Structure 1
Amino acid sequence: MNHCKAMLIGFATFCAFYANAQDSLFLTIDRADKIFVEKNLMLVAGQLNVDAQKALEIQARLYPNPQFTAGFNTWDADNKKLFYAGKSGEKAFEFDQLILLGGKRKKQIELAKQNIRQAELELENLMRNLKYELHKSMFSVYFDLLTLVKYNGQLQQLETIIASYEEQEKKGNIALKEVVRLKSVYIKLNNDKTELFQAIQQEQKDLQLILQTKQFITPRLDSLAWDKYEQLTILDSLQQLALQYRADYRLTALSKTMTELNVQYQKSLAIPDLTLGTSYDQRGNAFNRQLMLTVGVPLPLWNRNQGNIRFAETQTRLSVVNQQTMQAAIESEVNAAWYTMQRSIQEYQKTKQIYNADFFDVYNGMTVNFLKRNISLIEFVDFFESYNESVAEVNRIRKQLVLSAENINYSVAYPLY
């Protein structure tokens, strides 16, 4: 049976278990990636955050609004009039405009731009994390379903053998203990199958959450290019790729840039701004219809923004430490992923040499000879259990190889496999 048919049977079994066979979704990795980008709500929220930061850049570009003030005499004691603002009354107008000095507006705009870049990198890092979880779940379900197919076939054979032995036991041809021994093997294998169902169910929950669907997902990965998984990139190259493409590392570099900008901005806040204005007073102190030019500036005698400047400078030094810490963590992560991939390749290559069609042929031969009573129950059970373990182990090694490759992709944030 080829992998495609095996996956269909395995998925049909899985769906039947949940009584939901009519609601299924067969996906390749590329198709799953497309649905993920279109429907994942966490990505939508991340994009909205980027849009919100772009709106704040628009706000940072705006100039301060001018201020207009009007004053009217409430009670004219000479003329006994309320709110009298005629020729002999009193009214005054004032117009003021705040002029930002020290490059404050320019630095606010630059900080807003960096906030947009930060939101974009956070979205990129979120996508990297979620896509890794998506691929890991897709590959896990794929290989677990392959194992499930094998388990189902073996359980069906055992059911047939047990039914035959029960008939022979009733006739007194074999001992009851042989039937019990076969049932024990069946129970053990069925328990393994149940554990596999539970693992698939958990992966299905993760897939449905990431893809925002209620359908059961069956991966279609029959064309896996195994040759590429046997190739291992040089470790130094992976380290360089990680520092170039990892969004979380670029976020630390950006954080350093932003703290340096903040130092400049806090220093600019220590520079007093200028308020220019003009005022008109109908009956001014010096003469009637007094028109004046006003200039206002705060005197930086006590508050020169010293605390905020020192805080920003400390944050800059902290950002350098954070960047160094992140670089060390990434290098360690890449090292671990590389060594894991190396071991996975070695395991896969050994398994590929050992495990072949002979295993299945021998299994069929052992089953036929056991039914013909050419081999003993003990020999058959030992071989049957060993064969089950081999089947599960082969799929585990294949899954581990692919997941190790995905871990390489994740650790360097670049699709090498």
Structure 2
Amino acid sequence: MKKCLTLLFITLSSGNAFCQQLLNIEQCEALFLQNNLDLIANKFSIENAKAFEIQSKIWDLPVASLDLNFINPQDKRVFDTGNRGQKGVAIEQLLYLGGKKKSEIDFAKSTISIAESEFEIILRNLKFELHLNFYTLLFNQLKAKNIEAKINNLDQLIGAYKIQSQKGNVPLKDLVRLQSMSINFKSDLASITSEILNQQEILKILTNTDLSINPEADEEKMLDELEQKVMPSEEYLAKQLLQNNPEFAMMNGIIKSNERFLDWQKKIDIPDLTAGLSYDQRGGAFGNQINMNFSMPLKLWSSNKGNIKIAEYEIEKSRVEKEKTELVLTSKLSSAYSDLKNQLAYYKSSISDKQDLELLYDGIFQNFQKSNISLIEFADFMESYHESSLYLIEIKKRLILSKETINYLVNDSIF
């Protein structure tokens, strides 16, 4: 088992050493904005909305008609269209009345802002995913480094114990206990290494690059700045959220668009006028007469009543959905704000614990090497220290992710 785990780490380390790039979060964002395929694809949704506006400005084409004689029974001729025959030409154009075309254009324009908000939501969600994976990868690599240091120290002890066990100076069970501890640490390292590879794969997809990304960040400086920063009030953050959050902005855009759609549907209920000119050679009251033609539907009932009702209900529905969106977003912000304060308190209390723990670890390890403490005491401490040291790194990660969640909800770099 030990050999298998060791081989796994050698394979992962050698395979991961090639095609890697060290990037900070700003460089990752630049690659993401330039290369991300989801962003590139969804930009076309905005272009689609703009094309819809272009289409809304186009009028119906005029209709031309030609009337030719086919059979002249009186003179027994076919296609009698000469000077003494019959032919007619007409052209008609549909004219929109009641501001119908303007309402259609206004509605089409309103869909552009919705498409832009949808794109902003996708951008924001993917950027948040990028930040989460970047910082999770950063702290997972710190965990891996922490475990590797323990494994190296243990392996040195195991090497010395093997020699002494062969000489009969220490019991075999003590050697096996140390080897078992090393295997457990390597198992934890294997799990974290798997997470690291998964996060690097996600970053590859988000940045659309073939290179594995290793995060570059001064986490201690980030944590110190966050610790010293004056915490804004929850009320201030809630106000910023309603101003900046694209989900809330999209709901406002949907309501506005639905109102314009209702206005358009009401205008559609107004009959339109069809106007035209026609020429008739001999079929009318006069020879070679030119006529004007007008036609309009008789508004005996509302021909668009159902669509008007649908538009009214859509407005009410979107207003309720806006209230729900505001409630959900402010509730998420409240939870995230409380979580950030808690994580900050945990981090502040852990600073001195980390220093004490490192000093204690060095002392225990040296005393065990000098045989001043028993193997049982050493093993119990190592297991406790292993969990505590990883938990201290986890506290840092949670604090960074908490502030990223606030930035995500408010859609601004508050922290």
What TM-score do you get using the length of structure 1 for normalisation?
A: 0.93
Asked if structure 1 preserves the Cα contact closer than 8 Å seen for 2:354 and 2:389, the reply is no
Residues 243-294 of structure 1, C-alpha deviations (whole Å, 9 max, x = no match): 1111111111111111111111111011000011011111123121121100
1:184 is aligned to 2:183: no
Classify the secondary structure of the residue corresponding to 1:19: helix
* Partner residue, 1:150: 146
Aligned equivalents of 1:228, 1:151: Cα separation in 2: 27
Give the one of 82, 90, 93 matched to 1:97.
93
Classify the secondary structure of the residue corresponding to 1:92: strand
Amino acid at match of 2:294: V
Aligned equivalents of 2:94, 2:56: Cα separation in 1: 15
Aligned equivalents of 2:124, 2:173: Cα separation in 1: 56
* Partner residue, 2:267: 268
Deviation (angstroms), 1:103: 1.1
* Partner residue, 2:104: 108
Q: Runs of 5+ in structure 2 lacking a partner?
A: 1-8
Asked if structure 2 preserves the Cα contact closer than 8 Å seen for 1:14 and 1:197, the reply is no
Residues 134-186 of structure 1, C-alpha deviations (whole Å, 9 max, x = no match): 00000000011011111111111111111211221121111111111111211
Closer, same or farther in 2 for the Cα pair 1:14/1:267, shift >3 Å? farther
Q: Runs of 5+ in structure 1 lacking a partner?
A: 1-12
Aligned equivalents of 2:186, 2:328: Cα separation in 1: 43
Amino acid at match of 1:294: N
Task: Give the count of matched residue pairs.
Answer: 404
Classify the secondary structure of the residue corresponding to 2:279: strand
Amino acid at match of 1:32: C
Classify the secondary structure of the residue corresponding to 1:225: helix
Classify the secondary structure of the residue corresponding to 2:190: helix
Asked if structure 2 preserves the Cα contact closer than 8 Å seen for 1:128 and 1:410, the reply is yes
Aligned equivalents of 1:353, 1:156: Cα separation in 2: 26
Asked if structure 1 preserves the Cα contact closer than 8 Å seen for 2:25 and 2:134, the reply is yes
Moved more, 389-398 or 335-344: 389-398
Aligned equivalents of 1:353, 1:157: Cα separation in 2: 24
Asked if structure 1 preserves the Cα contact closer than 8 Å seen for 2:244 and 2:410, the reply is yes
Closer, same or farther in 2 for the Cα pair 1:246/1:51, shift >3 Å? same
Classify the secondary structure of the residue corresponding to 2:300: coil
Aligned equivalents of 1:267, 1:85: Cα separation in 2: 47
1:163 is aligned to 2:182: no
Moved more, 200-209 or 311-320: 200-209
CA RMSD of aligned residues (A): 1.6
* Partner residue, 2:122: 126
Deviation (angstroms), 1:39: 0.7
Deviation (angstroms), 1:354: 2.3
Give the one of 225, 228, 235 matched to 1:228.
225
Deviation (angstroms), 1:65: 1.5
Aligned equivalents of 1:211, 1:327: Cα separation in 2: 31
1:390 is aligned to 2:388: yes
Aligned equivalents of 1:222, 1:260: Cα separation in 2: 50
Moved more, 223-232 or 179-188: 223-232
* Partner residue, 1:24: 20
**What percent identity do the matched residue pairs reach?**
33
Asked if structure 2 preserves the Cα contact closer than 8 Å seen for 1:15 and 1:21, the reply is no
Give the one of 396, 400, 403 matched to 2:401.
403
Classify the secondary structure of the residue corresponding to 2:169: coil
Asked if structure 2 preserves the Cα contact closer than 8 Å seen for 1:151 and 1:189, the reply is yes
Amino acid at match of 1:82: V
1:4-403, aligned counterparts within 5 Å? 16-17=12-13, 19-222=15-218, 224-230=221-227, 231=229, 232-356=231-355, 358-403=356-401
Amino acid at match of 2:119: L
